[in-house]
Amino acid sequence: MHGTEKKIVQPWQALVMIVVAIAIIFIGLKVVKCPNSITLLIDGVVMCVLASIFGIKYNDLQDDIKKTVSSMIIAILILMAVGILVGVWMLSGTVPLMIYYGMKVLTPALFLPVVCILCTLMSTMAGTSWGTVATVGVACMGVATGLGVPAECTAGAVVVGAIFGDKISPLSDSTVLTSTISGVELVPGVIHALRTTGPAYVVSLVFFIIYGLRFQGGNVENSENYDLILNTVSDNFTLNPFLLLPPVAVFALILLKKPTLPTFTVGIVVAIILAMIFQGASISDATGAMMSGYTFTTDVPIVDTILRRGGMSSMLGTIALLIAAGVFGAPMRTAGIIDILLSAVKKIAKTGKVMSTGVLFLHGIFFTITGAYYVSYPVVGSMVKDMFPEYGVDRRNLMRIMLDTGTGLAPLVPWATTGVYIATTLGVSNMGFLPFAPMLWLSILFSLVISLTGFGLTKMKADDAKPEAVS
């Protein structure tokens, strides 16, 4: 990870930095109740001070902070685009129409499993959990309010579907990246990853079906909120099937593998045109929605809670958090903590089971520290991939481990890029939907069981002479 000219800290110094970092996060978030971004900035400053005390050059620290923050630019631009997209989709009536149709078609008892399946299909076919959360996910959150289904449950169903699709889609950046770094073929790697993700997903679906039964009582069509939401939406928006053009356009472009930013831009432009045609919006209204989201009031609190969201400004706090996470994670990389942890794994690991267990914890820790699997995958993956053939273990196990402790863990880490994005977009905290998204933590647990027991840990074939070979 580091050039030979760069110094790294001693093992005991690395342990001190990790313990202090975790302590600051715990005290800041749980005891002092300090905002996430401020906690991470303080932690980052302390890490820089400790690294400097331990002999790391400040210029090296600063360079890595620059590189880390620079690597987030595209994610930051996507966040801004998502905020704008949600704002203009509200203004155009696109999301209100999806909410209206959803409430007409869905029933509370089947709502959670249907939401999960819809998000799974969208994410699998489009290869993006972010796009799924920002479109189908946002609409489902609105429908949930109308049906009386708690936001935390709905967010859990959205996240499970979106992340499952992301982990198994051959169009997903994370699967392609892990496949490339692990040195395995994409489809066999995805199939192997289903050993943990598949059962965890099935358990989640069963959970949504059973948990959803508690909402089957009562006739929602005659409930006060149900009628109030439907009537208010229809009174304040001109509802027309043409308003579904923005999500259709975005979905089509994603399927065609077009870049995310241009794709979202098309969705924004189409929505603005439709807002002018069907809702009588002006250019000023459109630019206002782009910046501040949908700000008009219907004088109905429950409907305003659903509709008044979006805008670039709604993402500024998220962007600040991402930058703070970069400031926090960079010194840990510069100090060589990952190198030290890897060295410890090599010393302890005598069998393939112990080695794969160590890699699972190693990647999980490093991802939790950095909050970005686009950083943890290449850094950890490239360093440990040759260890698997040395122990006679197939590299498909590495791909599965990284997906479980990266893509799967990401929504649960409050400062991770994906975790921040999901919490901000859906309006539910990471810890809020954690109990209702069992797939995320069950897949990690199943992966740990495989590593500890060796049951399901694929071995290399005896005739696999080359490290890159796939069994």
End-to-end CA distance of the chain: 29
Model pLDDT for residues 212-265, shown as the tens digit of each residue: 888 876 455 545 667 788 888 899 999 999 999 998 898 888 778 788 789 889
Farthest-apart Cα atoms in the chain, separation: 72
Specify the amino acid at residue 4.
T
pLDDT (average), residues 319-341: 81
- What global pTM score does this model have? 0.72
> Quick check: 204 and 442 in contact, CB under 8 A?
yes
**Res. 467: pLDDT tops 60:** no
Report the percent of the chain where pLDDT is more than 70.
93
> Quick check: 430 and 423 in contact, CB under 8 A?
yes
Question: Which token pair is 452?
Answer: 């500890």
Model pLDDT for residues 143-153, shown as the tens digit of each residue: 888 888 899 99
Question: Which token pair is 125?
Answer: 């076919």
Confidence bin at 450 (pLDDT 50/70/90): very high
**Res. 464: pLDDT tops 80:** no
Residue 61 phi, psi dihedral angles, 5° rounding: -60, -45
In DSSP notation, 376-410 reads HHHHHHHHHTTHHHHTTB-THHHHHHHHHHTTTTG
Model pLDDT for residues 9-28, shown as the tens digit of each residue: 888 898 899 889 888 877 88
The whole-number pLDDT of residue 171 equals 64
User: Measured between alpha carbons, how far is 128 from 168 in angstroms, rounded to an integer?
Assistant: 11
> Quick check: 43 and 90 in contact, CB under 8 A?
no
The whole-number pLDDT of residue 408 equals 93
User: Measured between alpha carbons, how far is 37 from 42 in angstroms, rounded to an integer?
Assistant: 9
**Res. 337: pLDDT tops 90:** no
Model pLDDT for residues 73-82, shown as the tens digit of each residue: 887 888 788 8
Model pLDDT for residues 38-96, shown as the tens digit of each residue: 888 898 899 999 999 999 999 999 998 898 888 778 878 887 888 898 899 999 999 88
**Res. 1: pLDDT tops 60:** no
User: Measured between alpha carbons, how far is 191 from 169 in angstroms, rounded to an integer?
Assistant: 10
pLDDT (average), residues 264-274: 94
**Res. 31: pLDDT tops 70:** yes
